[in-house]
Amino acid sequence: MKDADYMRLALAEARLAAAEGEVPVGAVLVRGDKVLAQAHNRVEQCVDPTAHAELLCLRAAAAAEGGWRFSDCTLYVTLEPCAMCAGALVNARLGRVVFGAFEPRTGCCGSVFDLLDHAFLHTVPAVGGLLEEECTAALQAFFVGKRS
């Protein structure tokens, strides 16, 4: 599979989130060609401000793999990670993150701040804008529906 294929899996997770009334963000963690975990936002369902797709995905993979270091893995996520999630990616020693939509207000992978490329932390290479139109459209449709 290619990066776009994994992002489509993350988009499917985002659609699940939207169907559940959650902000449509999905994440998929991959090692080589193996999907280790998939998750979507569950903040409202869990009544937990940390239940972002990225964190849930890392937690599921760590439980399944019996370890928390993911230096040989790529996380695909539909929205640029926030500070909390970017910090978790650094702490997980993630090999790479690929995200879809940029988040100009809270994005911490280059938009507002680049926590993944800080001199005092583990560096996580990031690529943004993969399937950006589809990822942005999912978010916009959700919020239009919420406002109407």
Rounded distance between C-alpha atoms, residue 82 and residue 103, angstroms? 8
Q: Which amino acid is at 38?
A: Q
| Token pair recorded at residue 121 | 């932390």
Residues tagged active-site? 54
Quickly list DSSP for 51-89. --HHHHHHHHHHHHHT----TTEEEEEEE---HHHHHHH
CA 141 vs. chain centroid, Å, equals: 19
